[in-house]
Amino acid sequence: MATIPNHLDVVKAARARYQTLAGPERAHRIVNAVAWELRDEGAGLFLKTGGTRFADRSLDVIIFEGGETFDVLRDAEGKAEPAWSRTKPTGMGDPKKWRAAVDPGPVSGGTSGEPSNGPSDQPLDVAAEIKAIRAALDALIARLEP
């Protein structure tokens, strides 16, 4: 198993991008952006099988295809402080719980901390974006499951 380098810089950049958001939405966007940025290294979203909020994915953990898991946010729904540490107690999860991230656009783009809306000055439709992300994740899950 290859050693996965510390990617705290990627987490900090994603956290800065979504600084104007809060709660589970901010946490999910940060984790998705980190997993997307590290996708060439095998990073993805970690499917949860329990819990009540965003019950189908972890709000603060990414998983690599080999099963290595990293906690990337402390107090995910509160301060969402960037972190990069192996999850406790083993730092490993079930590789079958790996899910592909969805392209959030450039993680380090812009300086305002606002998610990029592209060339338009239209406000971001958060509900529509979450629905689109969910649909993309559902499609990927359907393709991966036997």
The count of C-alpha atoms lying within 13 angstroms of the C-alpha of 73, restricted to the half-sphere facing its C-beta, is: 29
**Residue 51 pLDDT:** 52
State pLDDT tens for residues 42-99. 999 998 766 544 445 678 999 999 999 999 999 888 899 999 999 998 999 999 999 9
- Non-local CB neighbours of 2 within 8 Å, separated by 6+ positions: none
State pLDDT tens for residues 27-44. 999 999 999 999 999 999
**Residue 121 pLDDT:** 41
**Residue 35 pLDDT:** 96
Buried b / exposed e over 2-35, threshold 16 CB at 10 Å, is: eebeebeebbbbbbbbbeebeeebbbbbbbbbbb
**By the 8 A CB rule, do 75 and 68 touch?**
no
**Residue 50 pLDDT:** 60
**Residue 34 pLDDT:** 96
**Structure token digits, residue 5:** 């380098």
Neighbours of 114 (CB within 10 A): 14
